[in-house]
Chain A
Amino acid sequence: MGPDVALFAAVFLACTVEAVEATTIVLAAGVAGDWRSAMAGVGAGLLVLAVVVGALGPALTLIPLNGLRLVVGGLLLIFGLQWLRKAILRASGHKALHDEEDIYRRELQHARAAGHETRGGVSDWYAFTVSFKGVVLEGLEVAFIALTFGSNQRDIPLAAVAAVVGVAVVAAAGFAIRAPLARVPENTLKLVVGVLLTSFGIFWGAEGAGAHWPGADAALLVLVPCVAAFVLVLIAAMRGGRQGQVGSTGQSGYAA
């Protein structure tokens, strides 16, 4: 796996996860309310995102690369570890699995309870604002991932393509099925993304702090499998520990 493939895979998968969350919210708003208002919210959200990214993108390239790597590496490492923490707890049965269908049902109930309200030329204000917020929040994360990964690897176009492809794939799937995205194995996806974020975070954070990796960029090819193996060992150990606990107390646990 070359650095370009690793960059594309990391950005694509991370953006896919964010897009699943945004698409679920938009689907719920559209199904419960007015599709046109929900899609207007998506359009307005994308417009705001374009302005923000357009303003921040060039600024990012003016920051010294080592300083950028230190900050971004640290942030990615924190994000990656938080993702891994949740995904490992879920995979080992210590935490309930994240259920997109549950989120969809909850959003649907809120949407129906809110009713329809016309404001500012938008026939369903709730569907508009819910879609807008979902797209802006998740979209900011997508933009952050693409810009930071891209600028660190000095290949923003490739990162941008990966982000757009990831979002487009999920949006097309959501449009095609127009149903909850519960069949997307989100926790598995989160584990993979967590491994990639953590690996890139370790690599860039250390480089930004002044360290030199043995083998330079090739160190990533060792880091990624090592972090993945460590995560699998942790899951196996925690599953074993949970089975022992359930066996000794007779408690039933979460479905893993």
Chain B
Amino acid sequence: MKRVRALLEFWYDFVVGDDWRVAGGVVVALAITVLAGRATSSVWWVLPVAVVVVLPWSLWRGVRASRTAARPGAATEQQGAGETVPLE
């Protein structure tokens, strides 16, 4: 059971990474492209638009988490923010 859990955690970390919203945004954008692609083949713009929206959104969350972490005594606040910022 421990090994299965470790394997699942490895694959989640490998595929999804630090911010699950990025993976979620890509899946939603692909689904929209597939559905819209049934009506017209001119749906190439959906994924570029998704990148323009998802990447800054994820960065904004990352910056917010790093600012929270930089505040004195804010280590506990950072938990649950969905972001890990190593203070190396």
- In chain A, what residue has the closest Cβ to B14? A141
Give me the interface of A with B, judged by CB distance under 8 Å. 70, 73-75, 77-79, 81-82, 84-86, 88-89, 94-96, 99, 102, 198, 201-202, 205-206, 209-214, 219, 223, 226-227, 230, 234, 238, 241, 245, 251
Complex CA gap A206/B16 in Å reads: 20
Complex CA gap A212/B43 in Å reads: 7
Interface majority SS (helix, strand, loop, mixed), chain B: helix
Some 7 contacts from A to B, beta carbons below 8 A apart, are A81-B26, A81-B54, A85-B55, A89-B59, A89-B63, A198-B51, A212-B42
- In chain A, what residue has the closest Cβ to B71? A251
Give me the interface of B with A, judged by CB distance under 8 Å. 15-19, 22-23, 26-27, 30, 33-34, 37-38, 41-44, 46-48, 51-52, 54-56, 58-59, 62-63, 66-67, 70, 85-88
Whether A209 touches B34, Cβ cut-off 8 Å, given contacts A88-B59, A202-B51, A238-B63, is yes
Contact for B44 among A78, A99, A214, A226, CB less than 8 A: A214
**B62–A102 CB distance below 8 A:** no
**A210–B43 CB distance below 8 A:** yes
Q: Which of B16, B44, B54, B86 has the most CB of A within 10 A?
A: B44
**A213–B59 CB distance below 8 A:** no
Complex CA gap A226/B30 in Å reads: 20
**B47–A77 CB distance below 8 A:** yes
Q: Which 8 A-B pairs have CB atoms at the shortest separation, nearest pair first?
A: A210-B37, A209-B33, A82-B17, A96-B88, A211-B44, A212-B41, A202-B47, A209-B34
**A206–B33 CB distance below 8 A:** yes
Interface majority SS (helix, strand, loop, mixed), chain A: helix
**B33–A211 CB distance below 8 A:** yes
List of B residues within 8 angstroms of A245 by Cβ: 67
Contact for B48 among A73, A79, A81, A202, CB less than 8 A: A202
**A211–B51 CB distance below 8 A:** no
List of A residues within 8 angstroms of B17 by Cβ: 78-79, 82
- In chain A, what residue has the closest Cβ to B32? A209
**A78–B18 CB distance below 8 A:** no
Contact for A96 among B34, B44, B59, B87, CB less than 8 A: B87
Q: Which of B15, B34, B47, B54 has the most CB of A within 10 A?
A: B47
Contact for A78 among B16, B42, B43, B86, CB less than 8 A: B16
Whether A78 touches B41, Cβ cut-off 8 Å, given contacts A96-B88, A209-B30, A234-B55, is no
Whether A206 touches B44, Cβ cut-off 8 Å, given contacts A74-B30, A230-B52, is yes
Contact for A85 among B18, B26, B46, B85, CB less than 8 A: B18
List of B residues within 8 angstroms of A214 by Cβ: 44
Complex CA gap A70/B22 in Å reads: 16
**B62–A95 CB distance below 8 A:** yes
List of B residues within 8 angstroms of A77 by Cβ: 26, 47, 51
**B62–A85 CB distance below 8 A:** yes
**A85–B58 CB distance below 8 A:** yes
Whether A70 touches B30, Cβ cut-off 8 Å, given contacts A77-B47, A85-B22, is yes
**B44–A213 CB distance below 8 A:** yes
Complex CA gap A227/B51 in Å reads: 9
